[in-house]
C-alpha cells in the first residue's frame, strides 16, 4: 500500500513537472527573446530614420517646386503691370514683398497702416487752426499768427518727409541662391572696434543682418540701424530717417509749447470777473480751454521723447538697443564720445537707399538681391 502511494505521488510529481516544462516552452514561444527585441528596435529605428530622410527629401523637392513656380510667375508677369488705361513697365515696388505702401510710382514709401499718420496730421492742423481762430485773433499780434503758421508748416513738412522716406530697408535675398549648409549657421560673429558683434540670420529676408539691423514685424523688412516702428507716423525709424524723426519731435515740441504759452495768456485775460473761474471759462470759451489742455499733454509727451532721444544720441544707441540692453556686458562698439556721437547723428551725410524701388524688374528678381557691406 505504501509502495502504491509513493508511486502515485511520484507520478503526480512527474506530471506537474511536465506541465511546468510545457508552460515554460509555451512562454518562450509567446514572449520574444532579448535578441529578438533588440533586432526589432533596430528595425523600428531604421524605419524611422528612413521615414525622416524621405520626409526631408519630399519637403526639399516641394520647396524647390514652389521656388520654381514663383520664378515662372515672375518671369511671365514681370514685363508689364497694368496701371490705369495704359500698360507700364513693371518696377520693383510692384513686386516688393514687404508690407509697405507706395505712392507716385514708387517715389514715396509709407508704412502699411496710415491711420497714425493721418491722426497726427489732423491733430497738428486742428490745433494750429484753433489757435489762429480763438487765441491769436484775440491777442491781435500778426507776428504770433505768422510764427504759429511757420512752425505748423515746418512740423507738417517734417511729418510728411519722415513718414514717406525709405528708413533704411535692406535688400532681400533669394532663398534658392543660398547654400543649404550656410543656412544652417544661424549667426556669424564680426569684430567692430575690438568688440565682437553677432550677426543674426533673418529667415524672412534670407540674409545675415548687418550690424544694428532688425526685422520690423509690422513693415516686414529688415531695417538698418532700426530704432523703432513709430505708430504716430505709421512708419519705421531707422538709419535714413532718424534725423528727421528727431527734428519732428523738437519742432513739434516748439509748436505746442508756443500754443500752450499763448493759450494760457489768453485764458488769463478771459477770466470772468464774477468769480466763476474755470466754470465761466468752460462756458464762455471751451475751445481755448480744450486747446490749452491738449497742447499741455502734447508738450509733455514730446518733451519726454525729445529728452530720451537726445540721451540716446549722446551715447550712440538706438531705442531698440537701449531697451534690450545690448551692450551691458560687452560695451558699445559705436560710442565715439558725446561730441562725435552728436556729429555722426545730426551732421553726417545721409546714405543713399539700398533698394531702387523704381528700377525695372528683371527675370528672376526676388526682393532686390544685393551685396551687403558691413562697416
Q: Write the DSSP symbol of residue 331.
A: -
All three cell numbers of 93 = 515696388
Whether 205 is catalytic is no
* Candidate list 219, 230, 236, 264, residue with the active-site label: 230
Provide the annotated active-site residues. 230
Amino acid at each position: 500500500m505504501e509502495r502504491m502511494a509513493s508511486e502515485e505521488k511520484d507520478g503526480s510529481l512527474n506530471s506537474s513537472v511536465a506541465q511546468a516544462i510545457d508552460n515554460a516552452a509555451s512562454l518562450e514561444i509567446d514572449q520574444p527573446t532579448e535578441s529578438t527585441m533588440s533586432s526589432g528596435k533596430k528595425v523600428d529605428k531604421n524605419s524611422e530614420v528612413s521615414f525622416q530622410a524621405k520626409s526631408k527629401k519630399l519637403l526639399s523637392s516641394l520647396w524647390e517646386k514652389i521656388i520654381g513656380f514663383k520664378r515662372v510667375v515672375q518671369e511671365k508677369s514681370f514685363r508689364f503691370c497694368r496701371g490705369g488705361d495704359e500698360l507700364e513697365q513693371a518696377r520693383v515696388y510692384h513686386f516688393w514683398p514687404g508690407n509697405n505702401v507706395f505712392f507716385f510710382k514708387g517715389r514715396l514709401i509709407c508704412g502699411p497702416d496710415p491711420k497714425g499718420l493721418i491722426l497726427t496730421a489732423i491733430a497738428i492742423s486742428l490745433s494750429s487752426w484753433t489757435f489762429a481762430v480763438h487765441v491769436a485773433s484775440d491777442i491781435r499780434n500778426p507776428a504770433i499768427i505768422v510764427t504759429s503758421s511757420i512752425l505748423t508748416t515746418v512740423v507738417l513738412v517734417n511729418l510728411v518727409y519722415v513718414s514717406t522716406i525709405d528708413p533704411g530697408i535692406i535688400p532681400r535675398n533669394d532663398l534658392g541662391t543660398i547654400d543649404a549648409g550656410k543656412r544652417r549657421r544661424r549667426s556669424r560673429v564680426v569684430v567692430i572696434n575690438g568688440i565682437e558683434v553677432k550677426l543674426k540670420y533673418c529667415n524672412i529676408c534670407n540674409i545675415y543682418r548687418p550690424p544694428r539691423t532688425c526685422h520690423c514685424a509690422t513693415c516686414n523688412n529688415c531695417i538698418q540701424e532700426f530704432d523703432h516702428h513709430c505708430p504716430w507716423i505709421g512708419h519705421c525709424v531707422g538709419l535714413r530717417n532718424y534725423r528727421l524723426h528727431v527734428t519732428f519731435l523738437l519742432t513739434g515740441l516748439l509748436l505746442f509749447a508756443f500754443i500752450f504759452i499763448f493759450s494760457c495768456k489768453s485764458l488769463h485775460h478771459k477770466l470772468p470777473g464774477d468769480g466763476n473761474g474755470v466754470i465761466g471759462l468752460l462756458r464762455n470759451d471751451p475751445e481755448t480751454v480744450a486747446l490749452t489742455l491738449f497742447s499741455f499733454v502734447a508738450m509733455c509727451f514730446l518733451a519726454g521723447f525729445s529728452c530720451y532721444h537726445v540721451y540716446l544720441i549722446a551715447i550712440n544707441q538706438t531705442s531698440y538697443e537701449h531697451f534690450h540692453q545690448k551692450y551691458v556686458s560687452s560695451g558699445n562698439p559705436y560710442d565715439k564720445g558725446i561730441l562725435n556721437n552728436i556729429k555722426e547723428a545730426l551732421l553726417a551725410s545721409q546714405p543713399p537707399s539700398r533698394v531702387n524701388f523704381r528700377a525695372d524688374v528683371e527675370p528672376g528678381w526676388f526682393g532686390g538681391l544685393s551685396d551687403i557691406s558691413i562697416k
